[in-house]
Structure 1
Amino acid sequence: MAEVKIIGSAASLFSVRVEWALKLKGIEYEYIVEDLRNKSELLLKSNPVYKKIPVLLHNDKAISESLLIIEYIDETWKENPILPEDPYDRANARFWAKFLDEKGLLGAWEACQAEGEEKEKAVEAAVQHLALLDKEIQGKKFFGGEKIGYLDLAAGWICHWLSVLDEVGEMNVFDRERFPSLHEWAQNFIHVPVIKESLPPREILVNYFKGSLSYVRSLAANKK
């Protein structure tokens, strides 16, 4: 029986970032695919509060929330550090990671599902969020310096998932000319072998977000 397990899903960027952390550390793990339409007893038992993925199981101890899981992994296995050593740099990385999840990712999804006049406003808001991050990465190979770190893992969805949101939402948030530094970082990041090998096929993501978008819009239509 594996000491380390992940309860996750192929389309989940939150699950993939946990895989990245484990692979950077060289930790073997068992992957348990979760059917989110029919949640397993293991998931409900492991994450009874939010009932969502990913969940890391380490010697039967359950840890939830992807960014907290990455910190747990980094503190448990000391080799190949992920979080910055300097307290200020560590706090700064946590700040931007929280910003990315609460503003960047949510903003991109809101822009994807918006329609009409609201779409233009939502796209502009999403662009403004990325502009802040583009400034943060200027002159650097990775957010963590010369090697991948905590904030790179938190921002990893930009290099693969964001272009899918652009396609599904018929928008252009992640524009190369608008964000040259962020695009250069994305290319550096996505071509690291342990990162690239864990990326889900694009068609899976397209189908997933198309289904999610249809579901959200059907709910909105029923409320009218």
Structure 2
Amino acid sequence: MTEATKLREDICRIAKSMFDRGLTCGASGNISARLSDGTFLMTPTGSSMGFLEPSRISHLDAGLHLLSGDPPTKEIPLHHAFYGTRAATGAVVHLHSTHAVALSMLPDIDPDNMLPALTPYSVMRLGKVQRLPFILPGDPAMADAVRGLAGKRSAVVLANHGPVVAGKDLWAAAYAIEELEETAKLALLTRGARAAGLTTSQIASLVRTFEIDW
């Protein structure tokens, strides 16, 4: 099995799992991954993550021109901004997951670090999560906002829209974005309950031990 064939199948498998568990719905969400030759695989525009076909996944060259498959997601610039600013990025996942979107709309969250440090794995897999302002879907300003972070964040949440996470490979990006959604859910469930999150010293220990960008 070639690298591209396996990656196509993994994209479809992960996307269906996320769709089936309600992490994104309808024709929302998209996934991309970079191949070792510098080309990209991306989910097609207007497609449902629950019903993708490996042969129809978009294959783009390094200049983002379509080589084969269906036309790609309109969020190409958003994905490409992560690849361009974080050299280690091997995949990007974008969802419209309910709890992350809900948290992004609350008035009193810190846009520079919108996800409270409630569990060690949210810190380890995500670092600080930036909330970006509302931008029209597909607008190149989304990519500009990500580039403005200068590669300092692997995870952002587009206000009123959804999370986007870059990872070293497809599975790492998928695990991280699921951690983001679960932590957002925990944050909403414990909101107003004076829950004890991680202390500053506990976060510092995690950052040192696991060499996390913080």
Q: Which category of TM-score, normalised to the shorter sequence, fits these structures?
A: under 0.3
**Based on CA coordinates, which of the two structures has the bigger radius of gyration?**
1
- TM-score computed with the length of structure 2 as normaliser: 0.26
Q: Using structure 1 for the length normalisation, give the TM-score.
A: 0.25
